[in-house]
Every structure is written in structure tokens, then in C-alpha cells.
């Protein structure tokens, strides 16, 4: 019993991080129908900036919460600037080009970002400075650490705030209108370019927070970490229905739990025929099954509810 609860907790924390990154994919896709493959790398840059900043400050006299907060703010500022610049120089000139062009550009941007990060921070895994709380609590016989609680709560609050922003505010309404049609939204007095920039800013800020959380959670950052993370989050977005914000949240949480349970039980269920090395296969198998049965994803709806 406690093992099952432990696997669910592990999966939920992992999934909440996937969900935050998936939101960045899904928001951009909702508006531009562009799969921004550089998003995983923005997450990585966020992690790198956070680790570097916290590492530089942790020798000094500042209290730990201030150091962590500074690291987070630096990561967010860096990623938001990066997301804005990427959209301006790499995607906007290709807005009316054939759809394949921005897609290939996105892959190019992600390779460029990886190499820039490699040049700045080197090829080694960088350890997250040991400034985090080590405490833990017992929940239904399983162990949940303070860090896990912090990640889960932060992610859920951010998702709630984003959902309110998109569905309850003027800006959100403008985003949803732009998602339906950029020219038509323009006729209503909505500046499409401004909304697209804001979308990239929000997505990049969420990516920075996710990058911070991932590096804190696993205790490391690396220039290559964005690739798999981005792939998983993209899958989560597709699982939930790409373009759909609540779908990305659901898809992320589900993918995390499926992965965790898959890796934890696949060996026992198949009597060792298929081992835990197939955990990624298991997650993608579920993804394919869902897509066969529901090609637009779990919550994928026709174009009306995209943002």
C-alpha cells in the first residue's frame, strides 16, 4: 500500500513539472499552430541560470530564501527575455511562411540554445548547491519531502492562476480570440503581435520555474536536459490535446503518474519479461493508445477553446 502511495506521490510531482512545461507548448500551438521545439531548451536555460545564480550567491551572507528567490527571478527574467527575442527574430519573420519553415527553425533554435549553454556552462553536469531543506513528512505510509510539497503546491497554484488568466481576464479573452483567428482578432482591436509576445513571455516564465524546480528536485542541471524534458512535456501536451490548456495540465499529471507506475510495476506485472528500462516505452504506449482512440487528445476540442 505505502509503495503504491509512494509511486503516486513521485508521479504526481514529476507530472506537475511536465504539466508546467507542457503549458508552454500548448499555448504557443494554440495561437500559432507552431510546435516550439525550443521550449525544452528554454527550460534548460532556466535551470542553468538558477543553478549558476544560486551557486554564485550561496557562499555569501544572504539568507537562503533570498538566494533561492533571486535565482528564480534571474531564471525567469532570463527566460522571458530569451523567449521574447526568439519569437521576434526566429518565428515572426516566418509567420506567413509554409508551416514546415518555422518548425525547422524551432529545431534549429533548440540546437543553437543547447550549444550556447554548452559554451557558457560547459559539458559537465552541474550540481545544485546544497541549500535546500532536507525535511520530510509521512503521508499514508509514504514519504513526501518538503521539496516535493513545494514543487507540487507551486505548480498547482501556477496552473490555477494561468487558467483564471486565460478564462477570466481581458488579456485571456484577447488570447483566446487571437487563437481563433489572428486577423479577425485584429479587427476587434487586438494587437496580434503583442498577444503572441505575451504568450511567449508567459510560457517562458513557466519554463523557467519548471527548470528551477527540476534542477532543485534532481540536484543537477545539464545543457542536454531540455531535450528529454521537452519531449516528455510535448507528449503530455499531445496526450491532453495540444492547444488545450487544461488538457496540458491533465496530460502532464497523467504522464508523470503513468511513468512512475509503469517503471514501478511493469517488471512485477510481466514477471520480469519487460523490465523497468521500458518505462518510457510504457508512457509512449499509453500516449499512442489514447491518440488512436481520441486523435485530438483527452481534452482536445475543436478550435473554439484554444488559447
| Positions in the binding site for other proteins (CB under 8 A) | 3, 6-7, 10-11, 14, 118, 122-125, 127, 130, 134, 136, 143, 145, 218-220, 222, 224-225, 228, 259-265, 267-268, 272, 275-277, 279-280
DSSP code per residue over 152-188: HHHHHHHHHHHHHHHHHSHHHHHHHHHHH-HHHHHHT
Are 229 and 39 contacting, i.e. CB atoms less than 8 angstroms apart? Answer: no
State the minimum distance, in angstroms, from the CB of residue 42 to other proteins. Answer: 18
At residue 221, the 3 state secondary structure works out as: strand
Supply 25's cell numbers: 507548448
Q: For residues 182 and 133, what is the distance between their CA atoms, to the nearest angstrom?
A: 46
State the minimum distance, in angstroms, from the CB of residue 120 to other proteins. Answer: 14
State the minimum distance, in angstroms, from the CB of residue 25 to other proteins. Answer: 20
State the minimum distance, in angstroms, from the CB of residue 36 to other proteins. Answer: 22
CB closer to other proteins out of 91 and 217: 217
Q: For residues 50 and 140, what is the distance between their CA atoms, to the nearest angstrom?
A: 33
State the minimum distance, in angstroms, from the CB of residue 186 to other proteins. Answer: 44
CB closer to other proteins out of 18 and 25: 18
CB closer to other proteins out of 176 and 232: 232
Are 209 and 154 contacting, i.e. CB atoms less than 8 angstroms apart? Answer: yes
Q: For residues 91 and 69, what is the distance between their CA atoms, to the nearest angstrom?
A: 31
At residue 139, the 3 state secondary structure works out as: strand
Are 83 and 203 contacting, i.e. CB atoms less than 8 angstroms apart? Answer: yes
CB closer to other proteins out of 11 and 243: 11
CB closer to other proteins out of 108 and 122: 122
CB closer to other proteins out of 3 and 153: 3
Residues in the chain: 307
State the minimum distance, in angstroms, from the CB of residue 2 to other proteins. Answer: 9
Are 229 and 16 contacting, i.e. CB atoms less than 8 angstroms apart? Answer: no
Q: For residues 98 and 21, what is the distance between their CA atoms, to the nearest angstrom?
A: 26
CB closer to other proteins out of 210 and 260: 260
State the minimum distance, in angstroms, from the CB of residue 262 to other proteins. Answer: 8
Provide the β-strand partners of residue 145. 136
Amino acid at each position: 500500500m505505502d509503495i503504491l502511495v509512494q509511486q503516486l506521490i513521485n508521479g504526481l510531482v514529476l507530472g506537475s513539472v511536465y504539466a508546467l512545461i507542457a503549458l508552454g507548448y500548448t499555448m504557443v500551438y494554440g495561437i500559432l499552430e507552431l510546435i516550439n521545439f525550443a521550449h525544452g531548451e528554454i527550460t534548460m536555460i532556466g535551470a542553468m541560470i538558477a543553478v549558476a545564480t544560486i551557486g554564485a550567491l550561496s557562499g555569501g551572507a544572504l539568507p537562503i530564501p533570498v538566494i533561492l528567490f533571486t535565482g528564480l527571478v534571474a531564471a525567469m527574467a532570463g527566460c522571458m527575455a530569451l523567449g521574447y527575442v526568439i519569437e521576434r527574430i526566429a518565428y515572426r519573420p516566418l509567420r506567413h511562411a509554409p508551416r514546415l519553415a518555422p518548425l525547422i527553425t524551432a529545431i534549429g533554435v533548440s540546437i543553437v540554445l543547447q550549444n550556447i549553454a554548452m559554451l557558457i556552462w560547459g559539458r559537465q553536469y552541474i550540481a545544485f548547491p546544497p541549500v535546500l531543506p532536507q525535511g520530510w513528512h509521512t503521508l499514508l505510509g509514504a514519504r513526501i519531502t518538503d521539496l516535493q510539497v513545494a514543487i507540487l503546491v507551486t505548480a498547482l497554484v501556477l496552473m490555477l492562476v494561468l487558467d483564471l488568466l486565460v478564462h477570466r481576464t481581458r488579456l485571456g479573452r484577447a488570447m483566446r480570440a487571437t487563437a481563433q483567428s489572428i486577423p479577425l482578432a485584429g479587427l476587434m482591436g487586438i494587437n496580434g503581435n503583442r498577444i503572441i509576445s505575451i504568450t511567449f513571455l508567459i510560457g517562458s516564465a513557466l519554463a523557467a520555474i519548471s527548470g528551477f524546480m527540476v534542477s532543485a528536485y534532481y540536484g543537477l542541471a545539464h545543457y542536454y536536459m531540455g531535450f528529454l524534458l521537452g519531449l516528455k512535456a510535448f507528449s503530455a501536451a499531445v496526450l491532453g490535446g495540444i492547444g488545450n490548456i487544461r488538457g496540458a495540465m491533465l496530460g502532464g499529471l497523467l504522464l508523470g503518474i503513468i511513468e512512475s507506475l509503469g517503471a514501478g510495476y511493469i517488471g512485477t506485472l510481466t514477471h520480469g519479461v519487460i523490465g523497468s528500462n521500458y518505462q518510457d516505452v510504457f508512457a509512449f504506449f499509453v500516449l499512442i493508445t489514447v491518440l488512436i482512440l481520441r486523435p485530438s487528445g483527452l481534452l482536445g476540442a475543436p478550435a473554439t477553446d484554444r488559447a
